[in-house]
Structure 1
Amino acid sequence: MYKKEIYVFNQDKPVKATIRNYQEKDFAQLIRVQQECFPPPFPSELWWNEEQLKNHVDLFPEGALCVEIDGWIAGSMTGLRVNYTPGEPDHSWEHITDNGYIRNHEPEGNTLYVVDISVSPIYRKLGLGKWLMQSMYEIVIQHGMERLLGGGRMPRFHKYEDEMSAEDYLEKVVNGDIKDPVLTFLLHCGRTPVKVVKNYLEDEDSRNYATLMEWKNPFRQ
């Protein structure tokens, strides 16, 4: 099982945090984090439910991580293992994650696929999302997988859709001409773009587009 104690910083003040595998006793807090991250009018049926969380800890507990501060869960990140071949046809989030239930988890899969990453708004200035991502990279290395992969929303694309394609938007984000809350964050975390995917997730701001972004295991090149 995974457990890491670190210090994060609230401005100049160190704050002790623990990144660990989440368990059944954490489910209520994990759902609370989802509610805080995705308040109404976001559909409540799309928040984690206990059946999904139970599958995470039963099927792939190594890929079920949370970050805890003062006994309070501040964020979480979830993944499953899949077999991925570069260049294969596009997929949707619902298909590749089994709509978050991960019953399609492949214990010997070559890729750790990100199901979700969420950090409670009041903790977002502490850099917890980046720490969770780095911890998942360690899971990739520990299990000898080839990569971490996942789709990144493009929430500012709707502001530019009349001027450029989704591919052009991604290029401008990578060049630093546009700052996107999700894609720029993933670049900061060391992820690199693979391709733009249509109809990845129902997401009005992204116009249902996403960018597949990966982190390659440097020990498996």
Structure 2
Amino acid sequence: MSDPQELQVTKRSKLRRLPKRGSQERELIYSILDEALVAHVGFITDNQPFVIPMAYGRTGDRLYLHGSSVSRLLKTLEQGVDVCFTVTLLDGLVIARSLFHHSMNYRSVVLFGKAKLVVSETDKMAALRAFTEQMLPGRWEDARLPNSQELKATNVLSFSIEEGSAKVRTGHPSDDAKDYALPIWAGQLPLNLTAGTPIPDSQLSPDIILPENLTHYGRGR
């Protein structure tokens, strides 16, 4: 019996390169998905591979994608084609003494499955809420909700988180033993996504206060 706390692994999702960095733990996978903002969605149609960057949202064990109801991309995905869904968080550059051992510290997730069209208006609204909260927590309560015309013009796809894994690299470079004596700087250069100062819309009324979720915006661990 499979462990409900871990994703399933098949031949296509088994980690082969540096498997010690991999994990199927849902808790880790969800934490990476929740911190990231952009996913790359890969699929094949008409014998042509495509990888499209997309915003997304997560609720429980499901991811949601959305777009125009006439989008060729979404219409292709809703047909049940195989999808590879990936996100990556870059945490730093790993600077080694040798060029061969230069690397990066990162947290990534690769998922496999099929997407399904969300039909119910209630489920559609819940998915759009997840998408909004992924981008800016608390925004769903602050802004005007989608009206019926906007809902009709928007398609939402659901992607079940069932198969895949996370992969993580942390720490210093792994130089060859003989290279540690070289007079060359080595170590890590941490990187992170930081928010700048919010810029108000030119048509914004001056008496509207900047929301706290923008004042203290951040996506760190």
TM-score by length of 1: 0.21
Name which one, 1 or 2, has greater alpha-carbon Rg: 2
- Answer 1 or 2: which has greater helix percent: 1
Bigger relative CO (Cα 8 Å, ≥ 6 apart): 2
- Answer 1 or 2: which has greater strand percent: 2
